[in-house]
Amino acid sequence: MSAGRVLVYGGRGALGSTVVSVFKQASYWVLNIDLKESDQADHNIIVSGDTWTQQEENVCSAVAEALSGEKIDAVLCLAGGWAGGSPASPEFIKNAELMWKSSVWPASISARLACTHLKDGGTLVLPGAQPAVKGTPTMAGYGMAKAAVHQLVFSLADGKSGLSKESLAVAILPNTLDTPMNRKWMSKADTSTWTPLEFVAELMLKWTRNEERPSSGSLVSLVTEAGVTRTTT
Protein backbone atom coordinates (compact mmCIF):
# COMPACT_ATOMS: atom_id res chain seq x y z
CA MET A 1 0.00 0.00 0.00
CA SER A 2 1.44 3.36 -1.06
CA ALA A 3 1.73 6.09 1.58
CA GLY A 4 0.97 8.65 -1.11
CA ARG A 5 2.13 10.01 -4.46
CA VAL A 6 4.76 12.67 -5.09
CA LEU A 7 6.30 14.32 -8.13
CA VAL A 8 10.01 15.19 -8.05
CA TYR A 9 11.18 17.62 -10.74
CA GLY A 10 14.93 17.09 -10.99
CA GLY A 11 15.08 13.66 -9.37
CA ARG A 12 18.42 12.72 -10.89
CA GLY A 13 20.54 15.46 -9.33
CA ALA A 14 22.37 14.98 -6.05
CA LEU A 15 19.56 16.43 -3.93
CA GLY A 16 16.82 15.02 -6.16
CA SER A 17 18.19 11.49 -5.94
CA THR A 18 18.30 11.74 -2.16
CA VAL A 19 14.72 13.02 -2.05
CA VAL A 20 13.51 10.20 -4.30
CA SER A 21 15.29 7.66 -2.09
CA VAL A 22 13.85 9.04 1.16
CA PHE A 23 10.30 9.09 -0.20
CA LYS A 24 10.62 5.58 -1.61
CA GLN A 25 11.83 4.36 1.79
CA ALA A 26 8.71 5.97 3.27
CA SER A 27 6.55 3.93 0.81
CA TYR A 28 5.56 6.78 -1.52
CA TRP A 29 4.94 6.35 -5.24
CA VAL A 30 7.42 8.69 -6.94
CA LEU A 31 7.28 10.28 -10.39
CA ASN A 32 10.60 11.68 -11.57
CA ILE A 33 10.89 14.46 -14.17
CA ASP A 34 14.41 15.07 -15.43
CA LEU A 35 16.73 14.87 -18.41
CA LYS A 36 17.60 11.31 -17.35
CA GLU A 37 15.64 8.47 -15.80
CA SER A 38 15.89 7.54 -12.13
CA ASP A 39 16.08 3.81 -11.44
CA GLN A 40 14.59 4.49 -7.99
CA ALA A 41 11.43 6.20 -9.25
CA ASP A 42 8.19 4.40 -10.09
CA HIS A 43 7.70 6.44 -13.27
CA ASN A 44 9.98 8.69 -15.31
CA ILE A 45 9.26 11.59 -17.65
CA ILE A 46 12.13 12.94 -19.73
CA VAL A 47 12.10 16.70 -20.24
CA SER A 48 12.02 17.68 -23.92
CA GLY A 49 11.52 20.87 -25.89
CA ASP A 50 13.76 23.77 -26.88
CA THR A 51 11.49 26.52 -25.58
CA TRP A 52 9.77 27.23 -22.28
CA THR A 53 6.31 26.61 -23.75
CA GLN A 54 7.40 23.41 -25.49
CA GLN A 55 8.78 22.02 -22.23
CA GLU A 56 5.60 23.00 -20.38
CA GLU A 57 3.36 21.36 -22.99
CA ASN A 58 5.40 18.16 -23.15
CA VAL A 59 5.86 17.74 -19.40
CA CYS A 60 2.29 18.63 -18.46
CA SER A 61 0.86 16.28 -21.08
CA ALA A 62 3.06 13.40 -19.93
CA VAL A 63 2.22 13.99 -16.26
CA ALA A 64 -1.52 14.06 -16.96
CA GLU A 65 -1.21 10.75 -18.79
CA ALA A 66 0.88 9.18 -16.01
CA LEU A 67 -1.49 10.26 -13.22
CA SER A 68 -4.75 9.44 -15.05
CA GLY A 69 -6.74 11.81 -12.89
CA GLU A 70 -5.14 10.81 -9.57
CA LYS A 71 -4.17 13.68 -7.28
CA ILE A 72 -0.73 13.87 -5.67
CA ASP A 73 0.51 14.80 -2.22
CA ALA A 74 3.51 16.89 -3.20
CA VAL A 75 5.35 18.57 -6.07
CA LEU A 76 9.01 18.93 -5.16
CA CYS A 77 11.09 20.96 -7.61
CA LEU A 78 14.82 20.48 -7.09
CA ALA A 79 16.07 21.42 -10.54
CA GLY A 80 18.64 24.15 -10.91
CA GLY A 81 22.24 25.01 -11.53
CA TRP A 82 24.88 27.64 -10.90
CA ALA A 83 26.88 30.05 -13.02
CA GLY A 84 28.84 33.12 -12.00
CA GLY A 85 29.51 36.45 -13.65
CA SER A 86 28.99 40.10 -12.79
CA PRO A 87 26.87 42.39 -15.01
CA ALA A 88 30.14 43.74 -16.40
CA SER A 89 31.46 40.34 -17.47
CA PRO A 90 31.24 39.14 -21.09
CA GLU A 91 29.40 35.98 -20.01
CA PHE A 92 26.72 37.80 -17.98
CA ILE A 93 23.82 37.52 -20.46
CA LYS A 94 24.74 34.00 -21.55
CA ASN A 95 24.92 32.78 -17.95
CA ALA A 96 21.78 34.68 -16.95
CA GLU A 97 19.88 32.93 -19.75
CA LEU A 98 21.26 29.58 -18.60
CA MET A 99 20.18 30.24 -15.02
CA TRP A 100 16.69 31.27 -16.16
CA LYS A 101 16.32 28.03 -18.10
CA SER A 102 17.68 25.81 -15.33
CA SER A 103 15.80 27.44 -12.42
CA VAL A 104 12.80 29.47 -13.54
CA TRP A 105 11.57 27.15 -16.28
CA PRO A 106 11.28 24.04 -14.07
CA ALA A 107 9.96 26.04 -11.09
CA SER A 108 7.19 27.60 -13.14
CA ILE A 109 6.27 24.29 -14.80
CA SER A 110 6.18 22.73 -11.33
CA ALA A 111 3.80 25.48 -10.23
CA ARG A 112 1.50 24.65 -13.17
CA LEU A 113 1.63 20.97 -12.27
CA ALA A 114 0.82 21.72 -8.64
CA CYS A 115 -2.17 23.88 -9.56
CA THR A 116 -3.47 21.06 -11.74
CA HIS A 117 -2.70 17.89 -9.78
CA LEU A 118 -2.07 18.71 -6.11
CA LYS A 119 -4.49 17.48 -3.46
CA ASP A 120 -6.13 19.90 -1.07
CA GLY A 121 -3.58 20.48 1.67
CA GLY A 122 -0.74 19.34 -0.58
CA THR A 123 2.86 20.54 -0.63
CA LEU A 124 4.78 22.48 -3.28
CA VAL A 125 8.48 23.14 -2.74
CA LEU A 126 10.53 25.30 -5.11
CA PRO A 127 14.32 25.85 -5.14
CA GLY A 128 15.34 29.26 -3.88
CA ALA A 129 18.77 30.35 -2.63
CA GLN A 130 19.95 32.15 0.48
CA PRO A 131 22.33 34.53 -1.36
CA ALA A 132 19.47 35.79 -3.57
CA VAL A 133 17.68 37.60 -0.74
CA LYS A 134 20.18 40.40 -1.37
CA GLY A 135 22.56 41.47 -4.14
CA THR A 136 24.69 38.85 -5.88
CA PRO A 137 27.14 40.99 -7.87
CA THR A 138 29.56 38.18 -8.79
CA MET A 139 26.75 35.81 -9.86
CA ALA A 140 24.09 38.24 -11.02
CA GLY A 141 22.25 35.90 -13.39
CA TYR A 142 21.96 33.26 -10.69
CA GLY A 143 20.62 35.79 -8.20
CA MET A 144 18.08 37.12 -10.69
CA ALA A 145 16.71 33.64 -11.42
CA LYS A 146 16.47 32.61 -7.78
CA ALA A 147 14.80 35.90 -6.84
CA ALA A 148 12.19 35.16 -9.51
CA VAL A 149 11.53 31.78 -7.88
CA HIS A 150 11.10 33.54 -4.53
CA GLN A 151 8.53 35.88 -6.06
CA LEU A 152 6.66 32.92 -7.58
CA VAL A 153 6.32 31.40 -4.10
CA PHE A 154 4.81 34.63 -2.78
CA SER A 155 2.30 34.60 -5.62
CA LEU A 156 1.41 30.92 -5.17
CA ALA A 157 0.61 31.45 -1.50
CA ASP A 158 -2.10 33.94 -2.42
CA GLY A 159 -5.63 32.52 -2.55
CA LYS A 160 -6.05 33.76 -6.12
CA SER A 161 -3.13 31.70 -7.46
CA GLY A 162 -5.17 28.60 -8.31
CA LEU A 163 -3.31 26.32 -5.92
CA SER A 164 -5.55 23.80 -4.14
CA LYS A 165 -7.10 24.68 -0.78
CA GLU A 166 -4.86 24.71 2.30
CA SER A 167 -1.82 23.77 0.24
CA LEU A 168 1.69 24.77 1.23
CA ALA A 169 3.89 26.70 -1.20
CA VAL A 170 7.43 27.37 0.02
CA ALA A 171 10.96 27.81 -1.26
CA ILE A 172 13.97 26.25 0.42
CA LEU A 173 16.96 28.59 0.67
CA PRO A 174 20.17 26.65 1.21
CA ASN A 175 23.54 28.33 1.28
CA THR A 176 25.79 25.41 0.35
CA LEU A 177 24.53 21.85 0.02
CA ASP A 178 26.83 18.96 0.87
CA THR A 179 26.99 17.39 -2.58
CA PRO A 180 29.76 15.32 -4.21
CA MET A 181 30.39 18.06 -6.77
CA ASN A 182 30.71 20.77 -4.10
CA ARG A 183 33.18 18.58 -2.22
CA LYS A 184 35.13 18.07 -5.44
CA TRP A 185 35.33 21.74 -6.43
CA MET A 186 35.59 23.22 -2.92
CA SER A 187 37.78 20.60 -1.29
CA LYS A 188 39.31 23.04 1.20
CA ALA A 189 36.04 24.61 2.36
CA ASP A 190 34.59 24.28 5.85
CA THR A 191 32.00 21.56 5.29
CA SER A 192 30.61 21.97 8.82
CA THR A 193 28.54 24.83 7.38
CA TRP A 194 27.18 22.75 4.49
CA THR A 195 23.65 21.40 4.69
CA PRO A 196 23.31 17.58 4.39
CA LEU A 197 21.07 16.36 1.59
CA GLU A 198 19.32 13.95 3.95
CA PHE A 199 18.20 16.83 6.18
CA VAL A 200 16.55 18.56 3.22
CA ALA A 201 14.85 15.37 2.06
CA GLU A 202 13.53 14.55 5.53
CA LEU A 203 12.25 18.12 5.87
CA MET A 204 10.21 17.74 2.69
CA LEU A 205 8.87 14.40 3.91
CA LYS A 206 7.66 16.05 7.13
CA TRP A 207 5.93 18.84 5.23
CA THR A 208 4.28 16.32 2.89
CA ARG A 209 2.97 14.52 5.98
CA ASN A 210 1.65 17.86 7.26
CA GLU A 211 4.21 17.96 10.07
CA GLU A 212 6.04 21.10 11.27
CA ARG A 213 4.92 23.12 8.28
CA PRO A 214 5.89 26.77 7.91
CA SER A 215 3.37 29.31 6.64
CA SER A 216 2.59 29.12 2.94
CA GLY A 217 4.64 31.69 1.03
CA SER A 218 7.64 31.25 3.32
CA LEU A 219 11.25 31.36 2.21
CA VAL A 220 12.78 28.70 4.44
CA SER A 221 16.48 29.26 5.02
CA LEU A 222 18.62 26.23 5.82
CA VAL A 223 21.34 27.30 8.23
CA THR A 224 24.09 24.83 9.13
CA GLU A 225 26.62 25.67 11.83
CA ALA A 226 29.12 23.26 13.35
CA GLY A 227 27.39 20.41 11.54
CA VAL A 228 23.95 21.22 12.97
CA THR A 229 21.18 22.44 10.64
CA ARG A 230 18.18 24.56 11.57
CA THR A 231 15.50 26.31 9.55
CA THR A 232 14.51 29.98 9.71
CA THR A 233 11.78 31.89 7.90
Q: What is the pTM of this model?
A: 0.93
pLDDT given at position 115: 97
Please report, for the domain that includes residue 219, its CATH number: 3.40.50.720
Total number of domains constituting the chain: 1
Q: Which of 28, 142, 194, 207 is catalytic?
A: 142
Query: Is 9 assigned a catalytic role?
Result: no
Residue 175's pLDDT is 78
pLDDT, tens digit (0-9, with 9 covering 90-100), for 29-44: 999 999 999 999 999 9
Domain holding 18, by residue range, is: 4-232
The DSSP line for the chain is: --SEEEEEETTTSHHHHHHHHHHHHTTEEEEEEESS--SSSSEEEE---SSHHHHHHHHHHHHHHHHTT--EEEEEE-------B-TTSTTHHHHHHHHIIIIIHHHHHHHHHHHHHEEEEEEEEEE--GGGGS--TTBHHHHHHHHHHHHHHHHHTSTTS-PPTT-EEEEEEES-B--HHHHHHTTTS-GGGSBPHHHHHHHHHHHHTT-S---TT-EEEEEEETTEEEEE-
